[in-house]
Amino acid sequence: MKRRRFIYTGATAAGLGGLAGCLGGDDDTEDTDDTEGEPNDDEDAFDAMPQVENPPDAVYLPSHRDGMVMLDTETVGDVAVSPMLSIPHFFWIVETGIGDDYTVDRVDPPEGDSVHFMATVWDTETEVVLPVDSGLSIEIEKDGQLVDSRTPWPMISQGMGFHFGDNYELDGDGEYTATISTGSMEDVRLTGEMEGRFQTSETVTVDFEMDAERRQHLVDSVELFDEDRWGDREAVPPMDHNHDDDHHDDDHHDDDHHDDDHHDDDHHDDDHHDDDHHDDDHHDDDHHDDDHHMPYSSLPEPEHLLGDLLGTPTFDDAVYATTLVEAGSRFVEEDDQYLVVSPRTPYNRCVLPQMSVSATIERDGETIDLGSLQPTLDHDLEFHYGTPVEELQNGDELVLSIDSVTQASRHQGYETAFTETGELRVEIDDL
């Protein structure tokens, strides 16, 4: 069966023009489909965004990358907040079913004037993205009147990594003010340079303008990939937000789990990023300068994590880098070792938070229950799950149980992975 198709036959680079009308504004001019010669309504225009039919039950390359405008990064207290805009789009949320069943349900864009508003929250001292559901909220006002207020979803995106976002309804052209409250980190243990920080909610405001030119910019900067690659076992590389080149090299693609043939740099060259899509003459915040620096939520490579690397088992297309930190570390009591489990996506090493992980040790026919691993944020290990261990020995078998899947909502390309609970086993033989 052919896996890939366009949902709507007008889904070409030219056909995306109808999306500009879906973003609203004060222009009542009727949009037409150049192919059919008939008006586009909102549903037709959004259906023109191509999707992959029957994608694999794993991370896959979607049909396109959404265009984006970065607004000014605002710093307050210990955190920086980087807000962004893109076209309103589909995303998927995780719903808990009966027992261990999880469903991933699609959320459709609003029919009226709207935009996808996003924010990444990160530590200014270590530049670690804070990948937790911290009760972040975003209110949008126009002329002093509230237009929309939501608690956006914690999300993972191949290009953007972990962030918060939702589709927000707007009220035509004009100047808007977004007020972003970060919430606080109460359910995550903080260690190292993170200890004692992020205990209070911080608030920032950012102004942005919406008009026909900005809407057209968001549409024009949508990047369609070659159709013969849709659904391939690869991922969109991280977007360049004033990053070092290290964020775009092969270190983000774990060769132990995925073939290099999926990561041809020719697919991600400058031809996909036409300067015509980034017109700085009208909107100063459409370009990337020092006010728009934003780190990506990639975790350290397994071999660079603290401790002895026990293994990088995979389950449901997630990679669970597992290490053991020797006794006497800052994480546990003096005589205990520290077991680290660091779940991440298979290509960009994007953090997978909001899970429940437990562990046992099988030794000589006996089972030692280590209980639930605690979500922890550390300046070296970054976000991970950890627990003390009295002594792990050669010959032991470490059993990791994925008791609940990551609750982060997903952009296209992630919605068919990380949806199952189960067990992973690691043989201990080189301590």
pLDDT of 332-359, one tens digit each?
A: 988 999 999 999 999 999 999 999 999 9
The answer as to whether 201 is a domain residue is: no
- Range name among 129-133, 280-284, 319-323, 384-388 with the lowest pLDDT average: 280-284
Give me the pLDDT at residue 257, please: 43
Supply the CATH number for residue 356's domain. 2.60.40.2480
Give me the pLDDT at residue 280, please: 39
The tokens 């023109």 sit on which residue? Answer: 48
Q: What range does the domain containing 406 cover? A: 302-427
The answer as to whether 102 is a domain residue is: no
- Asked if the model's pLDDT at residue 55 lies above 90, the reply is yes
The answer as to whether 349 is a domain residue is: yes
The answer as to whether 283 is a domain residue is: no
Domain count, the chain: 1
What are the pLDDT digits (tens) for 115-162?
999 999 999 999 999 987 667 999 999 999 999 999 999 999 999 999
Question: Rounded to whole angstroms, how far apart are CA atoms 217 and 375?
Answer: 40
The answer as to whether 76 is a domain residue is: no
Give the chain's mean pLDDT: 82
Give me the pLDDT at residue 134, please: 64
The answer as to whether 198 is a domain residue is: no
The answer as to whether 317 is a domain residue is: yes
Task: Centre a 10 Å sphere on the Cβ of residue 84 and count the other Cβ atoms it contains.
Answer: 20
Which band of pLDDT confidence, cut at 50, 70 and 90, is reported for residue 205? very high
What are the pLDDT digits (tens) for 218-250?
989 999 999 999 999 999 999 875 433 333 333
The answer as to whether 331 is a domain residue is: yes
Which band of pLDDT confidence, cut at 50, 70 and 90, is reported for residue 51? confident
What is the 8-class DSSP label of residue 219?
Answer: H
The pTM score is 0.82
- Asked if the model's pLDDT at residue 389 lies above 70, the reply is yes
Give me the pLDDT at residue 297, please: 97
Selection from 381, 40, 67 nearest residue 217 by Cα? 67
Question: Please, are residues 305 and 342 in contact by the beta-carbon 8 Å criterion?
Answer: yes
Give me the pLDDT at residue 47, please: 52
First to last CA, the chain: 48
